[in-house]
Structures are given as structure tokens and as C-alpha cells.
Amino acid sequence: MINQNETILIVEDDSQIHNFIAYILKQEGFSCFIAKSAQNAMAVLLSQKIDLMILDMGLPDLDGMEVIRKVREWSEMPIIVVSARDQDKDKVSALDAGADDYLTKPFSAAELMARIRVLIRHLHQTVKSSAQPVISVGELSIDFEKRQVFLKGETLHVTPLEYNLLSLFFRNIGKVLTTQFILKEIYGIGYGTDTQALRALMAGLRRKIEPVPARPRYILTEIGVGYRLVDE
Ligand code: CA
């Protein structure tokens, strides 16, 4: 249900890749701009109204990470990182710097569109959700006002930590959250490295919400990166 009025900036120096992305976006009805360097991207961002940015990490003039940091100083626009480096640490650093999602090259048109749809849908929901205390994903619902969780319409008993974890996911439906980010949000800065605690907390929560905890359908593991609540 994308109304396709969005304008997307593609920051990518490889012409084969930016032509491919631009072709897909135009077919889907988006307007788009192409920037071949970080400097070029900044110029477009300052002169045009951009709704979402697709960013290559390896640019000729500046690391993609620096672009994310600069943009985050003044904008919350969704950023999808496209990286040839398939190492997990790069994805994690990009997400921690403020990117919303990532794709590893090579990726398909369908994959790219799925990620864009999630982020654009949330763009439109941001205003609505503050007036909407109950949000559902599948048979799982959360009531932010009452701090309650429901599964198949029945109250689900969760601990305060489990509630905080789940509400963090519900505030970021469809987005991958890094382990580091979750730890900071749930336990505060001092516990930033206790991944064991998070794993235990996640296992407990999954036993309560997942029909088959070993094969989660709600909160998926992004190996080496973090977790994602599915967007249904
Ligand atoms: Ca590149």
C-alpha cells in the first residue's frame, strides 16, 4: 500500500548497481536520485526532500559509516545500507551508527522492495501509533497503556524485563535490532556486554510467545547481528 510519492536517494558509485536499483524503484513508481559519492549525496540531501536513503558502504570519498553519522545529526530518514562486505561486524556497526536495515550484495529486487516497504510503512505509521495503544503482530498483541501482552486474545504473563524487551520490538516492528542496542535499551549502559543475559531473557520470552520456540515465527534471530520482530 505504498502510495509511491516517496523520493529515494541511491548513494552508490557502482553504476551497474545504481542503475539496477533505480530501474526497480522507478518500476515501483518511486522517484529517485542517484549520488555517486558521499559529497554528492550531501548535496542532494541539502537541496531535495528525500524520504529514504539506500547507501553503499564503500564510497570513493568517505566511508558509508561517516555518511550515516552525518545524516543522523539532523535527520531520522530511513537508511538501508547496501554492503559488499558480508561480515557481521560491518552490519552491526552500520546499524549501531543509525542505519535501519542492511542488504548484502548481491541482493534481489524482491528483497530490496520488501525492506523498503517495511520502512516506508513505518514512516506513515509514526503519527498514528501514538494514538494507538494496542499493536498486534499475528496473534501477539501489546497494550502500551496498560503494559500488558496478549496471545490469542488471552493475557500473557510476562516479567517486567520481558515486557520491556517485547515493547522494544513492537516499537521497531520489522527492523533488525542489534544485540548491543537491545542490551543498552533493556539493561542500561553498564550491562552493554552481557549477551548471555539477553540470550537467557530471549529464550524465556520465546517459550511464552512462540508456538515452537526452536523455530520462532515472531522474533527472528539475525545471526551475528541481533533480532527482528516480523512485520506481518
Ligand atoms: Ca562501492
Sign of torsion, CA 102 106 111 113? positive
What separation in Å is there between the alpha carbon of 97 and the centre of ligand 1? 19
Instruction: Name the strand (E) or helix (H) holding 31.
Output: strand 31-35
Strands 7-11 and 31-35: parallel
What separation in Å is there between the alpha carbon of 223 and the centre of ligand 1? 24
**Predicted confidence pLDDT, tens digits, the chain (232 residues):** 445 689 999 999 999 999 999 999 999 999 999 999 999 999 999 999 999 999 999 999 999 999 999 999 989 899 999 988 677 788 888 998 999 999 988 899 999 999 999 888 877 765 455 567 899 999 999 999 899 999 999 999 999 999 999 999 999 998 899 998 898 888 876 665 678 889 999 999 999 999 999 999 999 999 889 999 998 7
What separation in Å is there between the alpha carbon of 84 and the centre of ligand 1? 8
Distance CA 161, CA 186 (A): 7
Residues 177 and 216 occupy one common structural domain: yes
Distance CA 135, CA 138 (A): 10
Give the pLDDT of residue 1: 43
State the total domains in the chain: 2
What separation in Å is there between the alpha carbon of 12 and the centre of ligand 1? 6
* One-letter identity of residue 47: S
What separation in Å is there between the alpha carbon of 227 and the centre of ligand 1? 27
Sign of torsion, CA 179 85 118 95? positive
Strands 140-143 and 148-151: antiparallel
Distance CA 107, CA 152 (A): 36
Give the pLDDT of residue 189: 66
What separation in Å is there between the alpha carbon of 181 and the centre of ligand 1? 27
Q: Which residues pair with 11 in a beta bridge?
A: 35, 55
Give the pLDDT of residue 108: 93
Residue 1 resides in a domain = no
Give the domain CATH number at 44: 3.40.50.2300
Residues 122 and 146 occupy one common structural domain: no
Give the pLDDT of residue 4: 61
Give the dihedral of Cα atoms 162, 226, 67, 116; nearest 10 deg.
Answer: -90
8 Å CB contact between 85 and 58:
yes
Burial class, 154, CB count within 10 angstroms (exposed 0-12 / middle 13-18 / buried 19+): exposed
Residues 29 and 104 occupy one common structural domain: yes
* Grid cell in block for residue 138: 499475528
Give the domain CATH number at 156: 1.10.10.10
What separation in Å is there between the alpha carbon of 87 and the centre of ligand 1? 15
What separation in Å is there between the alpha carbon of 93 and the centre of ligand 1? 17
What separation in Å is there between the alpha carbon of 21 and the centre of ligand 1? 14
Residues 184 and 108 occupy one common structural domain: no
What separation in Å is there between the alpha carbon of 58 and the centre of ligand 1? 4
Distance CA 171, CA 167 (A): 6
Residues 133 and 114 occupy one common structural domain: no
Residue 2 resides in a domain = no
What separation in Å is there between the alpha carbon of 14 and the centre of ligand 1? 6
